[in-house]
């Protein structure tokens, strides 16, 4: 089928929950993707930080093929070898003592919310279930994670929301401390807000949140769904800030494009999940876990993190040069290979113009161009994207 035929089928048969671009991608390799009409694109979206190893990475692809020929799915009523292997790999490279596998970031955050409340109940008794989250945060689309999210646009029309969440400004320790009470059990925060506009906290913010949680016996939950798995140049984003959380949530980049989420926690917190407290039919099944083992092993062992850090310097330099050139660029910010360019006007049409030139980028929070290339991206590819963006910005009529 060509692009027009695919779009027509989508429009006729899919729920219209996405404002889709008129583009149908059918093939990918590394940083490149191709549409149904054969046009090539450089992908600086990576499936929204999913394809950290690029498209169809050979090690992930081989793991999927091998597992698909062996065993695709069995219930979590039984022990699953690749699931256990992935759990061991994650635990041995983190702060955590145990893992719960699911299928998405929203599910991982649901699990974290439930675990925090259950642990608080087990430890302190009833009446201590409130979770503080941040303005401009994004934690998912389920009722609990929408309630936790600090952006009204995701909540409109879905009221009543779930009780038990309080929102405070991001990067404001004073406001966070003032919001805590005897009913608070946890703080949920993204190390870098992705959907909120690539908002990077001050260097001492997360350290201060950790200290406040320790002082008040609160759990610190880090939502690393978008910024974990090497995206910031460290395997976990928290490693950039010299702290450890009590609970962390992961998804997106964990399995190379196969749906998977994970919630990890320290003992004794993770011990509050006992048989019957939580479950997932597909979570950590053999296929997704095998992809996860291949993806995580590659990120840790194949100089992926080193490339991310070296390419960060190039990306930051290129974007900063554009900021110097164009006065309507208010700020360039980010870490590793998640970067945002804030404009003084809405940036959706920039995304469209870049797509026409063969480059995929994204716009978050209406005004922030977001760049999420695969962690295997090269200096040449960054340069080509920056040159195209320069041409687009230079030709604007505002």
pLDDT tens string 374-388: 999 999 999 999 999
Mean pLDDT score, 114-134: 98
Q: How confident is the model at residue 327 (pLDDT cuts 50, 70, 90)?
A: very high
Q: How confident is the model at residue 398 (pLDDT cuts 50, 70, 90)?
A: low
pLDDT tens string 252-306: 999 999 999 999 999 999 999 999 999 999 999 999 999 999 999 999 999 999 9
Q: Is residue 218 pLDDT above 70, yes or no? A: yes
Contacts of residue 308, Cβ cutoff 8 Å, sequence gap at least 6? 230, 231, 232, 233, 336, 337, 375
Q: What is the pLDDT of residue 190?
A: 98
Type and span of the H or E element at 76: none
What is the average pLDDT score of the chain? 98
The radius of gyration computed from the CA coordinates of the chain, to the nearest angstrom, equals: 21
Domain boundaries along the sequence of the chain: 59-301
Q: What is the pLDDT of residue 345?
A: 97
What is the DSSP track for 278-296?
Answer: ---SSTT-HHHHHHHHHHH
pTM of the complete model beyond 0.85: yes
Find tokens 């929950």 and name the residue.
Answer: 17
pLDDT tens string 55-72: 999 999 999 999 999 999
Mean pLDDT score, 346-350: 97
Does the domain at residues 59-301 carry the CATH identifier 1.10.1740.10? no
Q: Is residue 2 pLDDT above 70, yes or no? A: yes
Q: Is residue 349 pLDDT above 90, yes or no? A: yes
Q: Is residue 167 pLDDT above 80, yes or no? A: yes
118 and 272 Cβ atoms separated by less than 8 Å: yes
What phi and psi values does residue 22 have, to the nearest 5 degrees?
Answer: -75, 65
Q: How confident is the model at residue 397 (pLDDT cuts 50, 70, 90)?
A: confident
Instruction: Please give the C-alpha separations between residue 390 and each of 21, 35, 42, 214, in angstroms, as whole numbers.
Output: 22, 24, 16, 47
What phi and psi values does residue 261 have, to the nearest 5 degrees?
Answer: -130, 160
Burial 368-388 (b: 16+ CB within 10 A, else e): bbbbbbbbbbeeebbeebbeb
Q: What is the pLDDT of residue 361?
A: 98
Mean pLDDT score, 148-155: 97
Contacts of residue 59, Cβ cutoff 8 Å, sequence gap at least 6? 53, 294, 295, 297, 298
């Amino acid at each position: 089928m060509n692009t027009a035929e695919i779009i027509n089928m989508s429009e006729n048969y899919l729920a219209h929950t996405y404002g889709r671009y008129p583009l149908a991608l059918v093939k990918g390799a590394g940083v490149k993707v191709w549409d149904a009409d054969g046009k090539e694109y450089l992908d600086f979206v990576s499936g929204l930080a999913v394809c950290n190893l690029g498209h169809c990475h050979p090690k992930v692809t081989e793991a999927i093929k091998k597992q698909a020929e062996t065993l695709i799915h069995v219930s979590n009523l039984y022990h699953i070898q690749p699931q256990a292997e992935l759990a061991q790999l994650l635990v041995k490279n983190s702060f955590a003592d145990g893992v719960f596998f699911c299928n998405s970031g929203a599910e991982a955050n649901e699990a974290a919310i439930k675990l925090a409340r259950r642990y608080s109940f087990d430890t302190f008794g009833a009446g201590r279930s409130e979770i503080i989250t941040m303005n401009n945060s994004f934690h998912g689309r389920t009722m609990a994670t929408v309630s936790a999210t600090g952006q009204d646009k995701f909540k409109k029309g879905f009221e009543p929301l779930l009780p038990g969440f309080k929102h405070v400004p991001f990067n404001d320790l004073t406001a966070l401390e003032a919001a805590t009470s005897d009913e608070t059990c946890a703080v949920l925060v993204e190390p870098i807000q992705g959907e909120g506009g690539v908002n990077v906290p001050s260097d001492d913010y997360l350290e201060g949140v950790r200290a406040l949680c320790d002082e008040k016996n609160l759990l610190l939950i880090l939502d690393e769904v978008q910024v974990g798995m090497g995206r910031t140049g460290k395997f976990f984003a928290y490693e950039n800030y010299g702290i450890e959380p009590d609970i962390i949530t992961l998804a997106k980049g964990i399995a190379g494009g196969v749906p998977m989420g994970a919630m990890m926690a320290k003992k004794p917190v993770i011990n509050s999940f006992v048989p019957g407290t939580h479950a997932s039919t597909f979570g950590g099944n053999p296929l997704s876990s095998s992809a996860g083992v291949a993806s995580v092993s590659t990120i840790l062992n194949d100089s992926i993190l080193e490339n991310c850090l070296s390419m960060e310097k190039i990306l930051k330099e290129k974007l900063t040069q554009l900021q110097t050139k164009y006065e309507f660029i208010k700020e360039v910010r980010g870490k590793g290979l998640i970067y945002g360019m804030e404009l003084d006007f809405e940036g959706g049409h920039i995304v469209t113009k870049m797509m026409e030139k063969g480059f995929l980028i994204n716009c978050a929070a209406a005004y922030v161009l977001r760049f999420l290339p695969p962690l295997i991206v090269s200096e040449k590819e960054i340069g080509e994207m920056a040159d195209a963006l320069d041409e687009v910005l230079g030709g604007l009529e505002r």
